[in-house]
Amino acid sequence: MVRDVEKIWLKHYPQEVRPTLEYPEITLHEVLFQRAGEWPDNTAVIFGEHRINYRTLAGMVAAMANALQNLGIQKGDRVALMMPNSPQFVIAYFAILQVGGIIVQTNPMYMERELEFQLKDSGAKAIILLDLLLPRLLAVKANTGVSLVIAAGFGQRNEALPDGVLDFGEVLKKYPGQPAPVAVDPKNDTALLQYTGGTTGVSKGVMLTHFNLMANMLQLKEWFVSQGPGQECMMGVLPFFHVFGMTACMNFAVYEASAMILHARFDPKAVLDSVKQHKPTVFPAVPTMYVALNNHPEIKAAGMDGIRVCVSGGAALPVEVLERFVQLTGGNLVEAYGLSETSPAALSNPVKGLRKPGSIGIPFPDTEYYLADLETGEPVPVGQPGEIAIRGPQVFKGYWQRPEETAQVLKDGWFFSGDIGRMDEDGFCFIIDRKKDLILSGGYNVYPRDVEEVIYEHPKVLEATVVGHPDPYLGEKVKAYVVPKPGETLTAEEVINFCREKLAAYKVPREVEFLKELPKSAVGKILRRVLQSEGLKQAE
């Protein structure tokens, strides 16, 4: 097994960024209470017209923690959290941690079958959720171990809550004060279960410790060259139930005693209005959000160039989308890379200094990576494709109750990501694709991203993705799914001919299908697996 790698990327670290940091063994909720003591009047949360400072936020967190303890939640109990970005989410998140509970991050878009699986798999004892989602929970609750239900609403509730369901606001009022102290080991105790999206199989609970999350937050602080307590303002449009939004916005804001602007859902106009009004300094988002913003008529006037750093992650950022965003806004957009298993941030283009469009950048402080041969696991030469393996303090401790799956991807501290990339002579990594998304067509390897990058260059294309479908002759054929820009007319022949001019013949799509929209996850990641499964059905 690989023990050491040559860190050729360090020569491209910005002068302000240290390659090695100190990581205090402290819990996330302790950080919140420290900041509330040091900077009590700093704005913590902006939600519509509502503002909450750190003093008030800490008081509400303590009250909810006291309530959970009085209602029977003990150290190690799993508590599901199922709601969009809101003050209630932030309060519940830190309260669960304060009593030593383990947060089960639950997607509010889950339907009954998905929700039941996650509650049963995690062994959740309680759930805190948006009241509008109660029907889904109540349809499956009897099949789970959930005994405590707390529902939160954003406005006036028209009807009473069902029997046995507690009201979030009433609970806060009933249990003021601090809970009894709970000893938590930051390095070894699990803080939350972040379920993988299931894009490569059955969804698994990624066990992240307080130390994992603290380390990643400090790495982001260093990389983004933070301006100090109260000086940042984070745009919270990514859902916090997703690890990217949770770390890059919520946890980062708390560590910096700074404000987080909460949006319960992504609406391009609302986001641009929010940029004008609140002037965020850090803007984390996924590529589909940047595509939507690029195509909004108010993008140029929103003041995106005033944001210190815009970050794209969660999926590959097409070069065309990056370049168009910079052209339209003058904004500072960098592509980063991470996974649930790395808390999530692992690599990024520098905020200042050398960047390479199409690259996911270089590793964060104290993070190493190499590209592993798919057969032997040994490093491949510079420029050759291999599986991205990552080592660092942010790497998870394993999958919940899945020791065999853990052993497959976690080897001597190295996490094998399932993503295929190549490293250039400067140590920058370029994602080629997911190992499981690789298309084997006529004996050739086709990486979907290679084809997607070209299709995005077509001036009439809004969004596109490429998948492999069964073919009796080729084994798999390349098929493109394309969303044209509003008002544009586009034919399959146009797309195919455009690709023929720029790609080897075996990479050119054999079929093109036009859709009004591409299937996406709650965080906005395009779901190739949905389109692949449709292709399999058609082939049967």
Split at pLDDT 50, 70, 90, the class of 254 is very high
pLDDT at 114: 83
The one-letter amino acid at 34: Q
Mean pLDDT of 31-44: 98
**10 Å Cβ neighbour count for 175?**
18
Split at pLDDT 50, 70, 90, the class of 203 is confident
pLDDT at 486: 95
Which CATH number is associated with domain 28-183? 3.40.50.980
pLDDT in tens, 117-133: 999 999 999 999 999 99
Euclidean distance between CA atoms 168 and 161, whole angstroms: 11
pLDDT at 105: 97
pLDDT at 200: 43
- Domain ranges in the chain are 8-22+211-434, 28-183, 438-539
pLDDT at 433: 79
Query: Taking each helix axis from N to C terminus, what angle separates 319-329 and 287-294, rounded to the nearest 10 degrees?
Result: 50
* Strongest mean pLDDT among 83-97, 111-125, 490-504: 83-97
pLDDT in tens, 319-338: 999 999 999 999 999 999 99
Burial class (CB in 10 A: 0-12, 13-18, 19+), 328: middle
Burial class (CB in 10 A: 0-12, 13-18, 19+), 520: middle
Decide if pLDDT at 535 tops 70: no
Quote the radius of gyration of the chain (alpha carbons, Å): 23
Record the tokens describing residue 112, joined without a space.
Answer: 């009954």
Euclidean distance between CA atoms 436 and 418, whole angstroms: 7
Mean pLDDT of 468-486: 90
Euclidean distance between CA atoms 393 and 395, whole angstroms: 6
Distances from the Cα of 164 to the Cα of 126, 135, 149, 155, angstroms: 12, 13, 7, 21
Q: Are 28-183 and 438-539 in the same CATH fold?
A: no
Euclidean distance between CA atoms 139 and 255, whole angstroms: 39
Cis ω on the peptide bond leading into residue 135 (within 30° of 0)? no
Decide if pLDDT at 151 tops 90: yes
Split at pLDDT 50, 70, 90, the class of 199 is very low
**Secondary structure string (H, E, C) spanning 285-301:** ECHHHHHHHHCCCCCCC
pLDDT at 202: 65
Which CATH number is associated with domain 8-22+211-434? 3.40.50.12780
pLDDT in tens, 403-452: 999 999 999 999 999 999 999 999 999 998 777 787 878 767 787 888 99
Query: What architecture does CATH give domain 438-539?
Result: 2-Layer Sandwich (3.30)
Please compute, for residue 303, the number of CA atoms within 13 A of its CA located in the half-sphere on the CB side. Answer: 13
Beta strands in 424-474 (DSSP E): 429-434, 439-441, 444-446, 461-471
pLDDT at 245: 95
How far out from the chain centre does Cα 93 lie?
Answer: 16
Mean pLDDT of 455-478: 91
Mean pLDDT of 476-501: 95
Output the average pLDDT for the chain: 93
Please say whether the beta carbons of 68 and 42 come within 8 A. Answer: no
Percent of the chain with pLDDT over 90: 83
